[in-house]
Amino acid sequence: MDRIVGIETEYGCLLREEEPHLSSEAWPARVKNYLFRKAQAGTIDLHYRDYEEPPGNGGFLCNGGRLYLDMGHIEYASPECLHLRDLVTYDLAGDDLLHSSLVALGAAGQVSFIKNNVDHHTGATFGCHENYLMKREAQFTPPVLGTLLTFLATRQIFTGAGRVGQANPLAFDFEPPAQEGQVNFQLSQRADHIVNDIYQWVQFNRAIINARDEPLADYRKYRRLHLLIGDSNMSPFATALKIGTTACVLALLEDARLPRNLVLADAVQSTRDISRDPTQRWIVDLENGKTIGALDVQWQFYDLAQKHLRGNSAETDWLLESWSFVLEALEENPESLIGGVDWITKKWLLDVLIDAEDLGWDDPWLQSVDLEYHN
């Protein structure tokens, strides 16, 4: 890659047996206090960082990341990374840090931190936010933003973590939603919870791109692109693809080399339609009235990246090879991606269970397996 990137991950908390003196809301605070006060894994904040981040709410870790509480959830932010392998490593380090804390507290058998994005019981969603440093002079005109949104809406065909069922009705609908049929399985956990294409708030009117311009660097030279659409991946390969392909597209954007006439009619609706398409054809409507498949969209971005970015680094070349391998496999042999692409892996596990136990897709056992995949 040629830019600084980072990931923020919110974790759900699951208790096997509710303790009378400790709830799932209490464990994030207990683990945070253990890490900073006993394990000395970092330096806790002694001052207000924001009106929602009082002293003691979190702090910087010795590995350069941050850990803090966000609306009752524990959140881990990776350090800023220049290399894809470093980002994937630090993302996994967050998982290991939380698990090792539970082991040290003697609670690993009773408490789990779940790296997923949906609560099947409450309908809540947890975020996996991506951050990319970009050149200030990069042109974010409506056609450029529209093309970037097209990439982000369609990349879920290899970055989605998969989920059982649906979130319905959508939050912030101004009219009662139309009656929908049952959705058995989706590619993306976040698709149902994205209700806008670009917006400045994170928690309300959740958008594909968060418009808040906070570069955390020289404002005259840089901007920070903050994405809310991504799923939390269990597969390191999927994490690498998610971040790496997006970094490639941003490099094309900065050099004014994005594909033309590839703006979706409705990026939010297309995100949802792709996620819910049981045929896996993933056809979407373009602004110009034409239709196109998500795979064809991704091939167009890949072809430009291959033309303009190959040879930049060994890491870029590996990423381009992996990108084309996944797109070819999705067309010809999706099962070859079991273990590499999360939604395919999860769907295979669920299909095996359904066949073995003669279950229907509405069986709550499937939601439990969905959740356990992220443990």
214/251 same-domain check: yes
pLDDT tens digits, residue range 81-92?
999 999 999 999
213/97 same-domain check: no
pLDDT of amino acid 185: 98
Q: If you average pLDDT over residues 112-141, what whole number do you get?
A: 91
pLDDT tens digits, residue range 98-114?
999 999 999 998 999 99
| Mean pLDDT over the full length of the chain | 92
* Structural domain of 202: 117-375
Tokens of 186: 């989706």
305/184 same-domain check: yes
pLDDT tens digits, residue range 290-335?
999 999 999 999 999 999 999 999 999 999 999 999 999 999 999 9
Q: How many domains does the chain have?
A: 2
109/136 same-domain check: no
In this model, does residue 172 exceed pLDDT 70?
no
348/287 same-domain check: yes
169/198 same-domain check: yes
206/319 same-domain check: yes
Query: Final residue of a domain: which of 115, 139, 174?
Result: 115
Least confident segment among 26-35, 51-60, 147-156, 186-195: 51-60
In this model, does residue 37 exceed pLDDT 70?
yes
268/178 same-domain check: yes
pLDDT of amino acid 24: 75
241/134 same-domain check: yes
Q: Which of 2, 45, 50, 70 is catalytic?
A: 70
Query: Final residue of a domain: which of 115, 150, 177?
Result: 115
Residue 70 among the catalytic residues: yes
161/87 same-domain check: no
- Residue 30 maps to which CATH number? 3.30.310
Query: Final residue of a domain: which of 115, 136, 166?
Result: 115
110/122 same-domain check: no
136/254 same-domain check: yes
Tokens of 207: 């958008």
pTM: 0.94
Least confident segment among 10-14, 36-40, 178-182, 269-273: 178-182
Q: What angle do CA 355, 358, 364 make, to 5 degrees?
A: 105
